[in-house]
Amino acid sequence: VIEPPHTAPRPPGELETLKRLWEPPRGWRAITAVNNLQIGLYYAGTAFLFFLAAGVLALLMRTQLAVPSNTFLDQDTYNQIFTMHGTVMMFLFAVPMVEALGVLLLPGMIGARDLPFPRLSAYAFWAYFIGGLVFFGTLFFDLAPKGGWFMYPPLTNADYSPGTGADFWLLGIGFIEISAIAGAIEIIVGVLLTRAPGMTLGRMPVFVWTQLIFAAMIIFAFPAIILATMLLELERAFGWPFFVAAKGGDPVLWQHLFWFFGHPEVYIIFLPAAGLVSMIVPTMTRSPLVGYHLVVVALLGTGFFSFGLWVHHMFTTGIPSASLALFSAASMAVSLPSGMQVFSWIATIANGRLQFTVPSLFVLGFIFLFTLGGLTGVMVAMVPFDWQVHDTYFVVAHFHYVLIGGMVFPMFAALYYWTPMLSEPLSERSGKWAFWLMFIGFNVTFLPMHLTGLVGMPRRVHTYPEALNWAGLNLVSTVGAFVFAVGVLVVLVDMALRFRPSLSGGAGNIWKAGTLEWLSNDAYVPRSIPRVETREPLWSRPTLAKEAEEGRWYLPNAPTGRRETIATTPVEAEPMAVLRLPGPGFAHLVAAAGTAGFFLLLTVKMIALAFLCGAAAVLAILIWMWESDPKPTAPVDIGGGTRLPTYLSGSRSHSWMATVVLLCAAASLYLAYVFSYLYLWTAAPNAWAGATATRVDVARPLLSAGLLISVAVLIQRARRQLAMGASGYALALHWGLAAAASFVALAMEVYAHWDAGLRPDSSGYGAMVYMASVLQGQIVIAFVIMALFTAAKHIAGRIDGDRRATFDNVALFGRYLVGQGLFGLLLIHGFPRLVQ
Amino acid sequence: MTESRSLPAALLRISFGPLVWFAHLNALYAANMFDCLDRTGGSAGVTIFATVGALAGIVGFAWRLRASAGHETAANIGMAVSGLSALAVFWTALAFASGGTHCG
B5 interface with A at CB cutoff 8 Å: yes
Contact assessment for residue A405 and residue A365, using Cβ atoms and an 8 Å cutoff = yes
Give yes or no for A740 touching B (CB within 8 A).
Answer: no
Q: Which chain A residue has its CA at the smallest distance from B89's CA? A: A330
Whole-number Å distance between alpha carbons of A119 and A36: 9
Can you give the three-state secondary structure of A132-157, one letter per residue? HHHHHHHHHHCCCCCCCCCCCCCCCC
* Mean pLDDT, range A72-83, rounded to an integer: 96
Question: Residue B2 pLDDT more than 50?
Answer: no
B6 touching A (Cβ < 8 Å): yes
Q: pLDDT tens for residues A85-95?
A: 999 999 999 99
**pLDDT tens profile A187-212:** 999 999 999 999 999 999 999 999 99
Q: What is the mean pLDDT of residues A520-540?
A: 92
Q: Is the pLDDT of residue B47 over 90?
A: no
Of A201, A320, A324, the CB nearest to B74: A201
**Closest A-chain CA to B44:** A322
Q: Are A215 and A184 in contact (CB under 8 A)?
A: yes
Out of A201, A323, A328, closest to residue B33 by CB: A323
Mutation pick from A260, A300, A302 vs chain B, by most beta carbons of B within 10 Å, is: A300
Tell me whether A327 touches chain B (CB under 8 Å): yes
Is B96 within 8 Å of A294 when comparing Cβ atoms? no
Residues 67-96 of B with CB under 8 A from A: 73-74, 76-77, 80-81, 84-85, 87-88, 91-92, 94-96
- Do the chains contact at B1 and A200, CB–CB below 8 Å? yes
Least confident of A134-138, A449-453, A666-670, B33-37: B33-37
The whole-model pTM stands at 0.94
Q: What is the β-pairing status of strands A636-639 and A575-581?
A: unpaired
- pLDDT per position as a tens digit, A392-413: 999 999 999 999 999 999 999 9
What was the pLDDT predicted at B10?
A: 87
> How does DSSP assign A650-670, residue by residue?
GGGSHHHHHHHHHHHHHHHHH
A318 in contact with chain B, both atoms CB, cutoff 8 A: no
Burial class (CB in 10 A: 0-12, 13-18, 19+), A185: buried
Which whole number is the average pLDDT over A635-654?
91
Q: Do B81 and A307 touch (CB under 8 A)?
A: no
Q: Is the pLDDT of residue B86 over 70?
A: yes
**Shortest distance, CA A333 to any CA of chain B (angstroms):** 7
A and B: number of Cβ contacts within 8 A: 125
* Interface contact B22, partner A, CB < 8 A: yes
Confidence (pLDDT) at B104: 57
- Say if residue A643's pLDDT is above 80: yes
Residue B102 has pLDDT above 70, yes or no: no
Contacts of A569 in chain B (CB under 8 A): 5
Show residues of chain A in contact with B96, CB under 8 Å: 322-323, 325-326, 329
Under 8 Å between Cβ of B47 and B31: yes
CB < 8 Å & 24+ apart, contacts of A689-696? A689/A836, A690/A762, A690/A763, A690/A765, A690/A766, A691/A765, A691/A832, A691/A836, A692/A832, A692/A836, A693/A757, A694/A753, A694/A756, A694/A757, A694/A758, A694/A766, A695/A756, A695/A832, A695/A833, A696/A752, A696/A753, A696/A755, A696/A756, A696/A829
Q: Is the pLDDT of residue B101 over 60?
A: no
Contact list, A571 vs chain B (CB under 8 Å): 3-7, 10, 74
Confidence of residue B31 (pLDDT cuts 50, 70, 90): confident
CA of A534: which chain B residue's CA is closest? B1
pLDDT at residue B34, rounded to an integer? 78
B4, B11, B33, B65: which to substitute to probe chain A, counting the most A Cβ within 10 Å?
B33
Tell me the average pLDDT across A414-439.
97
Phi-psi domain of A650 (left: phi exceeds 0; alpha: psi -120 through 50; beta: other): left
Helices (H) and strands (E) in chain B, counts: 3, 0
Mean pLDDT for the stretch of residues A241-268? 94
Q: Which of residues 27-66 of B touch A (CB under 8 A)?
A: 28-30, 32-37, 39, 43
Closest-CA residue of chain B to A202: B73
3-state class of A700 per DSSP? helix
Contact (CB<8Å) A320/B103:
yes
State the pLDDT at residue B38: 67
Residue B1 has pLDDT above 50, yes or no: no
